[in-house]
Chains A and B, each alone.
Chain A
Amino acid sequence: MTDVVFITVSLLTVAFAILALEARELVYGAVALALSFLGAAALFILLDSIFIAIFQVLVYVGSIAILIVFVIMLVRREKWVSIQSGTERTLGIIAAVLLFSTMAYFSLSTSLTTQYPTPTVLFNFSEIGSQLVNEYSIILQLTGIALAVSVIGALTMAKFENR
């Protein structure tokens, strides 16, 4: 029993992910990637994880996609449109189809197919916040340090002048 909303959202997510890699123009690819992230956020809403959906839209669609668009504008060249690699492409398609088909085939015989959710569990945001601060406070601080270090590193790298 599948919901039509779920089917639509998941098909859009995967289709935009493919389009992000296959679009001729890199900017269109970035836009398709942002739309794919939006589809994943919709999946999170279907999974009753509103906070993750909000966070996903803020971080992925809001900052990463914009950052990617700016970098594409910085490093843009016309030549890329013509780059096509034949053998690697078929190799990639074969590897992806093999991975998908084998894992899907074996997972169809597991208990995942009969696992239905328990209804009506909506965590509110304060529970996430208290778990974040109480149980995972060290990981939270380490994540903050990693963010700071990566931003400083990225700025330093981008400031480095060519001789």
Chain B
Amino acid sequence: MKKEFILLVIVGCQVFLLMNMVIADSYIIGQANPLMENLRGMNENNKIKNLINLGMNLLTGFLSLKQISFVSAEVGFECCLETNEGGICQDIISGSDSSTDANSCASPLQTGCDSVSECAKGCCVDSIEGLCTTQALQQECVNSDGIWNDEDSCLVQECQKGCCMIGNNAKFITEKRCEYLSSLQGLDKDFRDLETELECLALSSSQDEGACVLSGICNRKTKQECFAIGGEFYNNLFCSAAPGINCSAGEVIGCADEENLHDVYYFDSCGNRENIAKECDYPENTCDDKSCKYLGCENAVANVGTQDRANGERWCLYDGSIGDGKDTVGSEHWIAYCHNGEVEIDRCGEYRGSICTQSVIEEDGETFSQASCVINEAFSCIDYNSEQSTLKENCEANTDCMIKNINVDTGFKFDVCTPRYPHGFELTGGESLRKSLSTELCSLANQNCTVLYEKKLLGGWSCKSGGNCNCEKAEFTNQMNDFCVSLGDCGSYVNYIGEGTKNIKVSGAPEVSWTKYIKYSEPVKGQFAEPKSLREILGSMFGTNIVDPDNNETGMNKLVKKIGMISGASGTLVVGAGWLGNFIGGQVDNQCIVY
């Protein structure tokens, strides 16, 4: 009778969960929508309005469920051609029009900006300057006398760049711009079909120069420049050797005025540049007065200790250990670079929204690091769990993600895709709704494991072999806490200073202490995130349904369902066995909480 009552309670709970999951999912969708987030952020001080917005979000979230397709079409976005604060072509959520909100407008168009012709993005060509602007709005372009076309990356003939020689300067610009800049200096256009900027800039110093004599005064110029001013040109001749010119050779050494020349040069007595006196090998060194100045950075700060860096070298700095889902709370990724002898450091993004990736080129025993800040695709990793069939493939293909094998016992094991570099949360201040989202995310690691007990012949109960006995051991807690930590700033873990707190509730298994993670607060020598290809970054950024406002089934709510199914299945198995009368199920629970 007692067993039946327990089963009744369990069934009741499951029915309750099933009934509420629909609304809970809708709520999560509503919260995950970036447009709604912004809507919420508009009037933080206006509590009444926030309350209305909250209600709207819940309603919108509920109505935007795919299952309720007949009304979902009515929930969408509207386009403000100009918001109250002056933003052009900004999407707002339907029904949020306002004449006072900075991020809204009084009379939005009843469709998303993507469908509005004035807001169409394309290539804007400035036909006077020969400049091309990518992702330009049609309205703004045409209003300013630009020529607009719908190729938003400007892959059109008039925007193709080549190498333009203007005097002894090479510029990687469009042909039209070459014509314009040359004409400003009274020169004929000299446009060459080169594909890369580097090839073009290398031409700067290889121009034929010579002595240009005009009215008895000599200057060093290119042939083109000299003819433009009507001078007499002596190719490859210095002014000191030009006929009728009284300048003596090699009088002084110093730096050239030209921006692209970095060596030390001889100058004649009239101040004209002659031969190179000393090669400085830019960008390693550059001319400084009469000698070459080293532009590298000695003893530059490194992840651990210091390291000498060359000019232009970039490297990553981290606040602690990174990767494997173990980035510490409050830690950030930083990019450092050596620029003309000085080390500059920038933060990659807030809350590890961007991560620093690094690659090292090794040649002749010397290394040169390149690094960049890229978007952290932590949320895409969670999204991959929504499709079990492609989970492994997608997760392994994205270097920001990793497969976490939860394997506590035969009845409690599953694979889940988690972020390799967990995204941080806004833990201090911020809005309460944002905090509730963090709570939702951490709760993905809330799990219960049902342990099967067997009645002994001589009385008493013992854990049945294959009945999830390991769930009662530290192994369960450790794996669950690792899972919890990998989702974000969740679980019993340490911050980047090395201090920790307990943020996991376990019943039926030993506790886990944050102190075992202290080592992760220290940076690791030689550790860095691997870079991705540009295509991979862009593809994942703009292809994922996280950025697609029309896709209501976000990764998070699917994952909630998925994980619910996992524990639900094991629960059913145990319940079925329980009917035989010789077994009993014991629950081991793990609750993952925001840090």
- Asked if A and B bind, the verdict is no
Interface residues of A (CB under 8 A from B): none
Interface residues of B (CB under 8 A from A): none
